């Protein structure tokens, strides 16, 4: 094979790779555009709250000993004691999850929704301010003030009363 022939093959493969990369990029952009296209409704944030859910731990710990050796193959008797102490410390550590909840009032329904707080990524909303939301296939999506989309868990969905009922005595 000559050098020119090799260069032509590499160039033709490079053009083919560029074409496939452009096609993949176009597909990805169209998929993202289709994903963001939702039927948004406007509602009002009535209230918001943070809830700390205790997942366990932090209480008395019982460590069961087996007749087998330590999980550390190089441990001696002191190493086994250290493994037991580390296991007890890990089990005694309290575990929790923080949730941020919202009450959102729409035109027809009032929703109580929540999402877990992950590394301080929480929706930026204004209480008593407008918010965009949608329900699609049983999932609730919220668009915050920064135009970031969040998927929420629906805790309650209630019909908004059209007018107060007056009782005559």
The answer, as to whether pTM is greater than 0.85, is no
Give residue-wise pLDDT tens across range 33-64. Answer: 444 689 999 999 999 988 887 777 665 555 45
Give residue-wise pLDDT tens across range 62-100. Answer: 545 444 555 555 555 555 556 666 666 666 666 778 889
| Predicted pLDDT at 99 | 87
Query: What are the distances in angstroms from CA 90 to CA 63, 70, 74, 125?
Result: 11, 16, 21, 37
Instruction: Report angle CA 134, 138, 143 to the nearest 5 degrees.
Output: 25
Query: What are the distances in angstroms from CA 166 to CA 19, 26, 141, 163, 169?
Result: 70, 59, 36, 9, 10
């Amino acid at each position: 094979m000559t050098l020119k022939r090799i260069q032509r093959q590499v160039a033709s493969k490079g053009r083919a790779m560029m074409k496939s990369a452009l096609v993949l990029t176009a597909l990805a952009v169209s998929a993202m555009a289709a994903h963001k296209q939702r039927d948004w409704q406007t509602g009002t944030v009535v209230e918001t709250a943070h809830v700390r859910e205790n997942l366990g731990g932090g209480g008395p710990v019982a460590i069961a000993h087996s007749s087998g050796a330590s999980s550390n193959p190089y441990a001696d008797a002191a190493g086994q004691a250290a493994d037991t102490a580390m296991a007890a410390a890990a089990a005694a550590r309290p575990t929790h999850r923080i949730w941020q909840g919202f009450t959102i009032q729409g035109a027809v329904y009032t929703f109580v929704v929540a999402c877990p707080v992950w590394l301080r990524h929480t929706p930026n909303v204004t209480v008593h301010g407008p918010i965009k939301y949608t329900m699609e296939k049983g999932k609730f999506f919220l668009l915050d003030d920064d135009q970031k989309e969040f998927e929420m868990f629906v805790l309650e969905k209630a019909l908004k009363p059209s007018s107060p009922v007056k009782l005559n005595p």
